[in-house]
Amino acid sequence: MLQNTGKLAGCTLFITGASRGIGKAIALKAARDGANIIIAAKTAEPHPKLPGTIYTAAQEVEAAGGKALACVVDIRDEQQIGEAVQKAVDKFGGIDILINNASAISLTGTLETPMKKVDLMLGINLRGTYLTSKLVLPHLLKSRSPHILNLSPPLNLNPVWFKNHTAYTMAKYGMSMCVLGMAEEFRGQIAVNALWPRTAIQTAAMDMLGGDGVGKQCRTADIMADAAYAILSKPKDYTGHFVVDEDILKEEGIKDFDQYAVQPGHPLLPDFFLDEAPESLVEQMEQHGATPAFKPPTSATSSSGPIESTFNVIRGVLNEDVVKSTQGIYQFDLSGENPGVWFLDLKSGSGSAGQGQPPIKADVVMTMDSNDFSKMFAGKLKPTMAFMSGKLRIKGDMTLAMKLEKLMGRMNKAKL
């Protein structure tokens, strides 16, 4: 591990999304120097699936030797950010470092990504980063060693990083473009840099994307905390860099990277936007027991024809009420004239549907002929009758399978 040197003692860091994961790891690293940490995040109450709140993170910061200020902040809300910034200045006298860590992710294609998720990603990743930077900048200009550090990737314009998740890439690259622009705009006044991991980092988001088997292919958030510490310890003329964690730690003399591995010696999964193509990442994950949520569609699966037409109508009737009343994830394994695997997510957000494996493990898998599938969603064949006649095989929650009839009714009203 990179040793603390005390360079951040007395510095005040404003960190978005610091209640867990990489944001919290950076906070704890700085706290060991005796830094002041503003934990700006949304989680004030315990989440049923995600660890920690802003208050538990604040307790850990103070236990590590720092001072903490927990602020409930949605970084899409200008007023909430402004109030948190003012509280930080009132309590600590200023702000020296901004860490733009908060981020939203949905690794879905254009047709499968509801506009609500597009707005969420652009609102948090791009607008939130820009807005938080804008409101903190006046205080950074008064600091002796001011830094902005965005957790975002190098601007790799290879189309392979756009084709499967254009909306996410646009949003994430928006954070990187903030680095590119602000580094030049404030050159000589504020250091503005980006940091990205060489390999996957074990976080709640990674567990969601890769399933139970992905953890052993990851490094811990400590490597990002050490890399961030190395950047923040540099003078303000170190600016405009898109830093990869492993590279800067090698420059700092770190040679043993097994110490950062969740399972030392196990093959590691490269992160997005660097050298490995998405298809290679999927193959590596599956070889070691993970189930990637972002698996690109294969050429063997047709993306046109009657099944695609059916799913276009399905997408048109999805909304939060349907999701709330269903709470299930469906996988359709189709054979016959239009074979392929399709999914219907009626468990999260406003729902999504599309080609390929579902984003997380399906609650019910329905296997049938593609023609019978079209008939079923056209209202010409009820799931109950399809099951009883042997045309439909169901694995998983039978109740959820029967709930599809409500969605089919909506579709018929939409004139399938």
Q: Which domain holds residue 266?
A: 12-288
pLDDT at 299: 40
In terms of domains, do 228 and 366 share one? no
Residue 200 lies in a domain: yes
Q: Are residues 146 and 193 in the same domain?
A: yes
Domain assignment present for residue 2? The answer is no
Residues 16 and 124 in one domain: yes
Q: At which of 225, 255, 288 does a domain end?
A: 288
- Who wins on pLDDT, 322 or 167? 167
Give me the mean pLDDT over the 83-106 stretch: 97
Residues 326, 220, single domain; the answer is: no
The reply to whether 7 falls in a domain is no
| Same domain, yes or no: 311 and 281 | no
Q: How far apart are CA 309 and CA 84, in angstroms?
A: 48
Give the residue carrying structure tokens 């002041």.
Answer: 36
Total tally of structural domains belonging to the chain: 2
CATH of residue 130's domain is 3.40.50.720
Other C-beta atoms closer than 10 Å to the C-beta of 188 total 8
**pLDDT, tens digit, for every residue of 331-343?**
999 988 888 899 8
What is the average pLDDT across 224-230?
A: 98
pLDDT above 80 for 154: yes
Flag whether 253 is in a domain: yes
Q: What percentage of the chain reaches a pLDDT higher than 70?
A: 87
260 an active-site residue? no
Q: Indicate whether 37 belongs to any domain.
A: yes
* Range with the largest mean pLDDT of 193-207, 221-235, 256-270, 324-338: 221-235
Single out the residue in 258, 288, 318 at which a domain terminates.
288
Do 226 and 113 fall into the same domain? yes
Handedness of CA 142, 27, 3, 149 (dihedral sign): negative
The predicted-structure confidence for 360-403, as pLDDT tens digits, reads as follows: 888 888 899 998 888 888 878 877 677 777 788 888 877 777 67
Whole-number average pLDDT of the chain: 87
Q: Which two tokens stand for residue 182?
A: 């602000």
Shared-domain flag, residues 201 and 328: no
Residue range 170-224, pLDDT digits in tens: 999 999 999 999 999 999 999 999 999 999 998 877 766 666 667 888 999 999 9
Better-scored residue on pLDDT, 43 or 25: 25
Judgement on whether residues 277 and 392 belong to the same structural domain of the protein: no
Q: What's the pLDDT tens digit per position in 116-151?
A: 999 999 999 999 999 999 999 999 999 999 999 999
User: What's the CA gap between 286 and 222, in Å, rounded?
Assistant: 25
State the Cα–Cα distance between residues 191 and 230, nearest whole angstrom.
13
Residue 368 sits in a domain whose CATH number is 3.30.1050.10
Residues 130 and 32 in one domain: yes
Q: How far is CA 310 from CA 31, 101, 122, in A?
A: 54, 39, 29
- How does residue 20 score in pLDDT terms, banded at 50, 70 and 90? very high
276 in any annotated domain: yes
Flag whether 133 is in a domain.
yes
C-alpha distance across the termini of the chain, in Å? 59
Is 318 found in the same domain as 278? no
Whether residues 281 and 312 fall in one domain: no
Check pLDDT > 90 for residue 293. no
Q: Are 55 and 127 contained in the same domain?
A: yes
Relative to beta strand 340-346, strand 328-335 is antiparallel
Give a yes or no: residue 359 inside a domain.
Answer: yes
Residue 68: name the closest of 78, 76, 59, 77 by CA.
59
pTM of the model: 0.69
pLDDT confidence tier of residue 325, bands split at 50, 70 and 90: confident
Q: Which of 55, 130, 168, 173 is catalytic?
A: 168
- The model's confidence at residue 94, banded by pLDDT at 50, 70 and 90, is very high
Q: What is the pLDDT of residue 172?
A: 97
Percent of the chain with pLDDT over 90: 55
Q: Which residue has the higher pLDDT, 249 or 407?
A: 249
The candidate with the shortest Cα–Cα distance to 394, out of 332, 348, 335, is 332
pLDDT score for 413: 59
